[in-house]
Amino acid sequence: MRLLPELEKKQEKNNSGGVKGWLGGGLVLLLLKGKAILSLLKLGKLAGPVISMAVSIWAYAQIYPWGFAAGFVALLFIHELGHVLAARRIGLPVSAPLFIPFMGALITMKKQPLNAREEAYLAFGGPVLGSIGAAAVFGAAYYYHSPLLYSLAYVGFFLNLINLLPIHPLDGGRIATAVTRWLWLGGLIGGLAVIIYLKSVLFFIIWVLFAYDLYKKYISRRAQKQMHTVLKSFLIPIEDLRDQGYLIPGPEHKRELPFTTYSDLERQQYLGVRWESLDYYGTASMPVQSIIYKVRVVQLEEIYVDARAQLKMQCEVSFSVYENDKYYDVPAASRWRYGIAYFALAGILGGMMYLVHIVGNVNL
């Protein structure tokens, strides 16, 4: 596929620009990670996406022409919009798209899918709408004989195709959950070959994280159940207890507490702890759906809140992550439908890339 002459010149001028771009993208990701990402998402439904889009366009324009940079980010937006629309159709609340230069774009889920079918449906939304967007660009390129639009169409089809690699967290890795998890093995082997051929640092990092996740899930977990701990804080009012003659334990006191767990309609799990001798019951949220084994008091500290004495209790919660085996139970008919759609979409995208290459070269 021939690119714009000015794009080719700029690329020659910036042979090291690609490496700098990836490094810059990694730096931006680190800067945006955590509080910064949350701050952008809290700006509102439009402000966060618009600001991050503008920053991404500016970043890409340091390497490519402005028209290509703007079109590329627009194609990313269409892809992410496909995920948003799919999520709304199945009632999953998600954030607006957030763009990260040289890393792509993302949406965050405020509630996890109930099963593999929902996860696959959500994943399909991006490549489907993204492919339609790239096809529209190809049509405009053919009509206007535009080298820029031909280049954008080719990149658009390629991005949606590479996203179908069966590697988590790419869309293909999520679709595989509803087809067959054996596709993950194909992604582990074949995906690495593709990534090495592309010489993509970003996708290689994604592959390494995916391989490590598979190791933890299917090899390390079988050797021994993975246990986790998390600290949870509780405040126990003690002024009235002290007046009633209750014995208040000191800072070195350690003990195990009885507990209960429950989940709300949003599938958020809560831990409830009871200390009978202090007539106290408190609750705290868990980071993930868990199987809790033990709650142990590890630290006590007397503090004052609004001039009233409180006993700050730190509890160590021992748990393992709950994995719903029924999550991957997908009816055979649905597996076939998703499988056919997955391979058909991949074939169409590969064919469209070839078509853009042929038609673009003929018409330029």
Mean pLDDT over 38-64 rounds to 75
Answer with the residue of higher pLDDT: 288 or 281. 281
Find, among 247, 231, 313, the residue nearest to 274 by Cα: 313
pLDDT of residue 17: 40
**DSSP one-letter code for 168:** T
In angstroms, the CA 77 to CA 46 distance is 13
Is a pLDDT exceeding 90 seen at residue 310?
Answer: yes
In angstroms, the CA 316 to CA 309 distance is 23
In angstroms, the CA 80 to CA 109 distance is 12
Portion of the chain with pLDDT greater than 70, in percent: 83
Is a pLDDT exceeding 90 seen at residue 154?
Answer: yes
Find, among 113, 99, 96, 134, the residue nearest to 28 by Cα: 99
pLDDT of residue 75: 95
Q: 34: pLDDT confidence band, cut at 50, 70 and 90?
A: very low
Contact 257/300 with Cβ under 8 angstroms? Answer: no
Q: What contacts 142, CB < 8 A, 6 or more positions away?
A: 359, 363
Contact 168/188 with Cβ under 8 angstroms? Answer: no
What are the tens digits of pLDDT across the range 244-266? 888 899 988 999 999 999 988 77
State the DSSP string of 56-76.
HHHHHHTTS-HHHHHHHHHHH
Find, among 145, 146, 192, the residue nearest to 167 by Cα: 192
3-state secondary structure of 166: coil
What are the tens digits of pLDDT across the range 347-361? 999 999 999 988 877
Would you state the structure tokens that stand for residue 21, as one six-digit string? 């771009």
Would you state the structure tokens that stand for residue 239, as one six-digit string? 């002024």
**DSSP one-letter code for 348:** H
pLDDT of residue 287: 86
What are the tens digits of pLDDT across the range 92-142? 888 888 888 888 888 888 777 888 899 999 999 999 999 999 999 999 999
Q: Mean pLDDT over all residues of the chain?
A: 83
Would you state the structure tokens that stand for residue 78, as one six-digit string? 């269409």
